[in-house]
Amino acid sequence: MDVEVKKRARVLPDVVWRAWTESHVAHGGGKLENGALGKMKQGKKEVSYTIANVLSGKSFSTIWKLFFVRLEFHHKVVPSYGSSEVCYGFDLKGPLRWILRPFLLKKIELHLTQSLNAFVANLERR
């Protein structure tokens, strides 16, 4: 994995999974299952993604295909002593990977960290 960030959440894994499912539905998707499609706003632009690698209640990936690159965002939740460890990961694939990698990885790591912190804070306020 090119980037991985983790954070403990004081909620059970099923609460995390439910929040991910709700988010996917809010972005135009149906069930959180392999092949499901969704859309995400990136500034003024809308980007489509596909759900893959689903292990229900545990993990899934969102795949974004852009010009000659494929961005894979991984989501995983693991039980941890009455709470959860939530993991976000990222892989950059495709022929332009080596050109884009130095420009994107630090930015994506920062974004994943901020996103994960906000996600966990929101879960713990519910």
pLDDT digits (tens, 9 = 90+) for 8-39: 999 999 999 999 999 999 888 888 999 999 98
Average pLDDT over residues 2-6: 97
| CA–CA dist 80, 86 (Å, integer) | 10
Confidence of residue 44 (pLDDT cuts 50, 70, 90): confident
pLDDT in tens, 73-91: 999 999 999 999 999 999 9
pLDDT value, residue 94: 95
Question: pLDDT tier at 49 (50, 70, 90 boundaries)?
Answer: very high
Instruction: Please state, in angstroms and rounded to a whole number, the distance separating the CA atoms of residues 86 and 77.
Output: 5
Q: Phi then psi for 2, rounded to 5 degrees?
A: -70, -40
Q: What is the reported pLDDT for 28?
A: 80
- The predicted pLDDT at position 126 comes to 85
The reported pTM is 0.92
Cβ partners under 8 Å of residue 24, min gap 6: 32, 36, 38, 51
Residue ranges of E strands in the chain: 3-9, 37-42, 45-55, 59-66, 69-80, 83-93
pLDDT of residue 39: 87
The matching CATH number, chosen from 3.30.450.40, 2.40.50.140, 3.40.50.300, 3.30.530.20, for 3-125 is 3.30.530.20
